[in-house]
Amino acid sequence: MPIFRFLVFTLVITSYHAAALEWHGLTQLRLTNAENPESWLQGGSGLYQYDQGNNGLNLGQTLLSVRQDLSTSWSAHGVGHINSGPDYSAGFSQAFLRYKPLSVNRYEWQVDVGAFYPAMSLENPDIGWSSPYLYTNSAINSWLGEEVRTVGLEASFSRPGRRFRSPHTFEWRAAVFMANDSAGSLLAWRGFAIHDRQSTLNESIPFADNPAFDNTPLQHQANNVIPFSEVDGRYGYYTGMHWDYYKRSQIRLYYYDNNGDPAALNYRTGQYAWDTRFFSAAWLFKITPRTRIVIQGLHGNTKMGPNNGVDNDFEAFFILLSHQWGQHRISARYDYFSVIELDDWAFDPNDSDGESIALSWRYDIDKHWQVGGEVTHLDSFVENRALWWETQSNTQRLLQFNIQYRF
Amino acid sequence: MTRYFRRWALVLLVLPTSYHTQALDVTVTTASGERLSHTVVWATPDDPKVIEHWPTMHYFMDQVNRQFKPHILPIPKGASVSFTNSDTILHHVYSFSPAKTFELKLYKSNEREPVVFNHAGIVNVGCNIHDWMLAYIVVVDTPYFSITDTQGMAQLSLPEGVYTLSIWHERFSRLGEPESQKLTYHGQSQLQVKIKQALAAPLPLFHTDEFDDY
């Protein structure tokens, strides 16, 4: 897409202004032990990115986050990733320009143009939308990381509490975007998953070779999703409100609607436009400066096809507790997720639900090196596993030992 | 550690050395009698010749865990302040206050030139990236100044003379207007100052850490 080329070009040509360049990165090497079914990345119906086929050493989050200031108010931002599954690939998860002028009055505003995450989550505040808490994301943020991105323009307007002698800060955000038409495909045909893989802007994500696409009204659908593709030529939008109390309590409420035309189909790429809309509510509360709780809930609907042949409600929730003492951090998370089929296409079952518990420990050896481990337990029911003659209910466990270097 | 030691060492060095100089303990209380910390207290002599010398002074304001440190920094007119960054991320420090307008981007690997404050007044400092960050640099037109401790006490080392004693607190309703009174100093050791106005509600430092910039 021309805008990404322009942004990358901007980053490159201005990078010789070394003083105005900030970069941070991290890379993780993981020893994993996972249970089947095989991962969707390998064409299976498992809900982890790892499976028995790649037990052993794997590359985890590997990313470089760059900010190049162009002037007092303008900056260019990019986050590049190397993903290891299903094959090694590289790309940008975010690339955008930010305009944030110094504000003479007490209110502030900014505009982002390009590709970036809507700021609806509170689980991923580390560089490049990574999480400082666990080595997997919640079901909600696993999905946002793979199928949701703003490719467009977002404006925000805030009333910083400090400037009004108030402990309350309010911020309002609104965006118009394109190229998020396929969001919802993975929820329908795989269901929610538990992982920390972020889709890059130009890639397609495979999923199981679905018999429901053979000689049915779904025959033009590919066995993959190209999450950030434009199919129907229509604009989507979202709007969100942030409410902080002393930065101790942080609440984010968002409504997202990609305004997809369910009848639109790109025959060449096998991608439908999905009409996907959802409401997200997230809350972070610092019980003490060292102990925090993060909660997020999501409820929405996604549909595709001229007569909404695939029509699913979806909802998910997680609660995360994290405690830090010294250089140690221990985090635990409970996830619940569900996709509820509303259509009557019996050949394409979409119901799925599950629960997950994850427990992780991280230890900062110094400011660069960190080691840690995580155990995750996942019970899931995925109705369409029966199409492959698999049991619909499954229990999977994932053990990870992780070593991380950051700079 | 060295940085703070250096700062205090500088402050000690510039205390006037005249034998007339004596220590005055000022206790600041609210209208209802409670002792008030973080109040800036300064004494401006009516006769400027009392000030024996006014050396160049240098201060530091750091960024730690997405907060300014210190939150309130009194300095004499003409002093310079180095804005340092102990965080691993960028800060964009700025002020539009009439006493000093400036902006600086503090990259992690980049030392910036100190900012010189040549006009007395209250300088309200913010960060364009972290909108909860706020600090005050109180620029005073005298070398005789201090800030009250947790007991509401501040010590001024003054030569005898006639002064305008000013006090300022961030909870004043009009931030640009210190409260003042006349002080004839002839070596007494104690002074009680009661703030006349009702103070705004206290606003403790926001709970912030390295994951609060998203």
| DSSP helix, strand, coil percent of chain B (3-state; round to 5) | 5, 45, 50
pLDDT band at A4 (very low <50, low <70, confident <90, very high): low
CB contacts of A19 in chain B (<8 Å) are 107, 110
pLDDT, mean of residues B29-51: 93
Query: Which residue do the tokens 């002028």 mark?
Result: A101
Q: What is the pLDDT of residue A17?
A: 53
pLDDT band at A16 (very low <50, low <70, confident <90, very high): very low
Distances (CA, A) of A197 to A62, A67, A310, A406: 10, 22, 26, 18
Q: Name the residue of chain A whose CA is nearest to B110's CA.
A: A19
Q: How far is A25 from chain B (nearest CA, A)?
A: 12
Q: Name the residue of chain A whose CA is nearest to B128's CA.
A: A102
CB contacts of A367 in chain B (<8 Å) are 88
Q: Which of B135, B133, B143 is nearest to B42 (CA)?
A: B143
CB contacts of A104 in chain B (<8 Å) are 96
pLDDT tens digits for range B59-108: 999 999 899 999 999 999 999 999 999 998 899 999 999 999 999 999 87
By percentage, how much of chain A surpasses pLDDT 90?
A: 91
Q: What is the pLDDT of residue A10?
A: 54
Q: Which of B191, B167, B164, B199 is nearest to B30 (CA)?
A: B199
Q: Which of A117, A127, A168, A246 to mutate to test the interface with B (most CBs of B within 10 A)?
A: A246
- Quote the CA–CA distance of A124 and A341 in Å, as a whole number: 29
Continuous segment of H or E residues that includes residue A146: helix A139-147
pLDDT band at B204 (very low <50, low <70, confident <90, very high): confident
Q: Do A162 and B203 touch (CB under 8 A)?
A: yes
pLDDT tens digits for range A105-144: 899 999 999 999 999 999 999 999 999 999 999 999 999 9
Q: Do B213 and A124 touch (CB under 8 A)?
A: no
Option in B103, B107, B110 nearest A72 (CB):
B103
Check: CB of residue A375 under 8 Å from CB of residue A358: yes
pLDDT tens digits for range A318-332: 999 999 999 999 999
What A265-270 contacts at long range (C-beta under 8 Å, 24+ apart), as own/partner pairs, is A265/A220, A265/A231, A266/A229, A266/A231, A267/A220, A269/A222, A269/A226, A269/A229, A270/A220, A270/A221, A270/A222, A270/A224
pLDDT, mean of residues A29-57: 96
Phi/psi-derived region of residue B200, left when phi > 0, alpha when psi is between -120 and 50, beta in every other case: beta
pLDDT tens digits for range B136-185: 999 999 999 999 999 999 999 999 999 999 999 999 999 999 999 999 99
Q: What is the pLDDT of residue B112?
A: 84
Q: Which of B151, B147, B148 is nearest to B34 (CA)?
A: B151
Q: What is the pLDDT of residue B109?
A: 63
The size of the A-B interface in CB pairs under 8 A is: 71
What is the average pLDDT value for chain A, to the nearest integer? Answer: 94
Q: Name the residue of chain B whose CA is nearest to A121's CA.
A: B214
Beta-strand (E) ranges in A84-195?
89-99, 108-116, 150-159, 168-178
Q: How far is A394 from chain B (nearest CA, A)?
A: 35
Query: Which residue do the tokens 């006639």 mark?
Result: B162
Question: Residue A117 is encoded by which pair of tokens?
Answer: 């995450």
Q: Do A247 and B207 touch (CB under 8 A)?
A: yes
- Quote the CA–CA distance of A160 and A170 in Å, as a whole number: 7
pLDDT, mean of residues A345-364: 97
Q: What is the pLDDT of residue B108?
A: 74
